[in-house]
Amino acid sequence: MFDFNFDWRPDMETKIEVLDQQHMQLFRIGRDIEQMLRVRCMGVTEIQLLGIVCELRDYAAYHSYQEEKIMKEAGYSGYEEHKKMHAVFSSDIEKINMPKLKENPEEGLKLIKNKIQEWVFEHMLIEDMKMAEEIRNHLKLKK
């Protein structure tokens, strides 16, 4: 996977504020991981690793819930399919093995970083954008 920094850019916005706030939150977690990798995980503690994993699990849960609620309320045409993608992401995050991560934080964090990166490029910037466009048009029509 190519090198990517979690620097937020305005063209990544869905223009649905609550979703953008949450997407930025994911980038913040991504940047925390970058920081740790930059020093090759030197001095990184088990508590810090656990913090990253917990934040990601929380994120997958609250963000999926919020986005699915918005999609459902707006009657988004791709709702079911989109929901399935969230379930796959959540289950990937659930599978992060804490003892293994503790054993080799650098390797583990690289894998997690790649997973988030893949999610950003394959889901957030494509599927979420597609969904947000339809929802924005739907809201405009309702006005």
By the criterion CB under 5 A, which residues form the site for Fe ion? 67, 128
How much of the chain is helix, strand and coil, in % rounded to 5?
Answer: 80, 0, 20
Nearest distance in Å: CB 42, Fe ion: 35
Of the two residues 60 and 67, which places its CB atom closer to Fe ion in the complex?
Answer: 67
Residues 6+ apart with CB under 8 A from 60: 86, 89, 90, 93, 94
CA–CA separation, 133 vs 139, rounded Å? 10
The residue number with the shortest CB distance to Fe ion is 128
CA–CA separation, 50 vs 64, rounded Å? 21
Nearest distance in Å: CB 87, Fe ion: 11
If we measure between CA atoms, which residue out of 70, 60, 37 comes closest to residue 123? Answer: 60
Of the two residues 41 and 67, which places its CB atom closer to Fe ion in the complex?
Answer: 67
Of the two residues 44 and 128, which places its CB atom closer to Fe ion in the complex?
Answer: 128
Nearest distance in Å: CB 128, Fe ion: 5
Of the two residues 109 and 135, which places its CB atom closer to Fe ion in the complex?
Answer: 135
Nearest distance in Å: CB 101, Fe ion: 25
